[in-house]
Amino acid sequence: MSTNKEKDLSKVRAAIVTERFRASMKQWMLDNKVTQAQMARRAGLTTSIINNVINSHAPSLTNAILIARAMNTTVDKMTAGQIADSPDVTSFSNLFKQDFLKNVKATVENGKYYSNELIDLSEKQKRTIIRLIYAYLNVGKTGKYLGDDINDSKKKRK
């Protein structure tokens, strides 16, 4: 069950990530002299979606990925910043990983993989992708964060 503090932190995190994405997108469009209509065509989205993102609306995970690919970058690079922007770093890290995992899992299970073209994934490929992401983020099968590997390895050495 989420506490009010976790919900408030989740809102702060979402606002930080949304603003970083928006600012990165706007700067790229300015640097490359790309209009909203051109960005929409490059990303395969509508101009209204691009306009909404520019005006501080959080894009869906799928739209964020499409926009990032249109810019020849990744969502991760667009939203990277100092995690210390969050009031509680440990909670932020745990919540971010859990939320990220939930969104990626839903995207993988319900969507198609996009590289240079859309490719249907087999169920085995979907499970493999999700399993690798779980391992990378150090979460259990339920999606619960298991803790930092660094702290765990220090405890084992003692």
- Is the pLDDT reported for residue 84 higher than 50? no
- Residue 145 pairs in a beta bridge with 139
Maximum distance among all Cα pairs of the chain, rounded to whole angstroms? 59
Per-residue pLDDT at 134: 75
Per-residue pLDDT at 66: 92
Among the residue ranges 10-14, 33-37, 91-95, 115-119, the one predicted with the least confidence is 115-119
Per-residue pLDDT at 78: 84
Of the candidates 34, 38, 40, the residue with the CA atom closest to the CA atom of residue 53: 40
Q: Residue 61: count other Cβ atoms within 10 Å of its Cβ.
A: 16
CA distances from 11 to 8, 20, 48, 104 (A): 5, 14, 24, 19
Per-residue pLDDT at 12: 73
Cα(150)–Cα(158) distance, rounded to whole angstroms? Answer: 13
Of the candidates 23, 28, 31, 55, the residue with the CA atom closest to the CA atom of residue 43: 28
Mean pLDDT of 52-57: 88
Burial of 53 (0-12, 13-18, 19+ CB in 10 A): buried
Q: How confident is the model at residue 143 (pLDDT cuts 50, 70, 90)?
A: low
- Is the pLDDT reported for residue 89 higher than 80? no
